[in-house]
């Protein structure tokens, strides 16, 4: 399988001649606006992890441009319909479902959203970046208001004898059974002031062979940030030296 990161939580996975896409979003930050809807318009299967704007906002435009279908929970489906997407282009899914495509088998698992801690909220609100990026504040506030989270979904992706557990937000449920010892765990690396230590809990729980970081870029400032990952790499090297950690570059394919 090959992975490609487009910024934020937007990732495509390709096996043989089939590609699936997760959470397409065009950055509000010109410095890292790399995703082009035209580039991904031919992808037929678009999976949404949850309904927040930075995961769902550009799906209606993508569906209008391309020929794909969106797989999402009922809350995200309702949001898409309110934004003019034909119901025939939306497939409602829920935890426990299995989607079988030509090359992929995808198990839908129940997930949770990361809980922003108090220190991160204070650091975000009382920061000069709020003034620097005040032009974005309206878009971000409206985004959170108009795009409810809904049920967070985690995807267990199987193809070519390999498994990827894909998270769109860094949260898991205690009552859900997740695969252990898989080939790759994707970690959305944003949303906590103690992110390095917080992410280690998920590594211990899943025990993956490799980790693929995403969502660490500053795509909707001033709420987002460019996250420093050196500390996480250092802790992983000390605690889990056998686990490879990948910090992808924009639009560069990575093979597992």
**184-188 vs 45-47, strand pairing mode:** unpaired
Calculate Rg over the CA atoms of the chain. Answer: 17
pLDDT of residue 234: 98
Strand ranges across the sheet with 69-72: 90-92, 69-72, 45-47, 18-22, 10-15, 2-7, 253-255
Taking only the tens place, the pLDDT of each residue in 8-44 is 999 999 999 999 999 999 999 999 998 889 989 999 9
pLDDT of residue 90: 98
pLDDT of residue 66: 87
Spans of the chain, pLDDT less than 70: none
pTM: 0.96
Second-level CATH architecture of 2-255: 4-Layer Sandwich (3.60)
């Amino acid at each position: 399988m090959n992975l490609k990161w487009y910024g934020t939580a937007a990732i495509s996975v390709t096996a043989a001649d089939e590609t699936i896409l997760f959470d397409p979003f065009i950055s509000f930050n010109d410095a890292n606006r790399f995703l082009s809807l035209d580039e991904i318009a031919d992808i037929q299967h678009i999976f949404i992890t949850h309904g927040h704007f930075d995961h769902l906002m550009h799906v209606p435009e993508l569906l209008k441009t391309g020929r794909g279908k969106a797989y999402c929970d009922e809350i995200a489906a309702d949001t898409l319909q309110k934004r003019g997407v034909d119901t025939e282009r939306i497939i409602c899914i829920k935890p426990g479902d299995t989607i079988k495509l030509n090359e992929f088998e995808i198990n839908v698992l129940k997930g949770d959203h990361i809980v922003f801690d108090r220190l991160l909220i204070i650091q975000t609100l009382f920061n000069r970046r709020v003034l620097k990026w005040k032009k974005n504040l309206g878009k971000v506030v409206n985004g959170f208001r108009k795009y409810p989270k809904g049920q967070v979904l985690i995807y267990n992706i199987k193809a070519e004898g390999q498994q990827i557990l894909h998270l769109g937000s860094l949260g898991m449920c205690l009552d859900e059974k997740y695969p252990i010892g898989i080939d790759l765990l994707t970690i959305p690396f944003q949303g906590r002031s103690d992110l390095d230590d917080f992410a280690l809990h998920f590594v211990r729980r899943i025990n993956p062979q490799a980790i693929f970081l995403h969502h660490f870029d500053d795509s909707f400032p001033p709420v987002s940030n460019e996250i420093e990952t050196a500390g996480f790499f250092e802790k992983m090297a000390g605690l889990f030296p056998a686990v490879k950690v990948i910090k992808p570059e924009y639009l560069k394919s990575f093979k597992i």
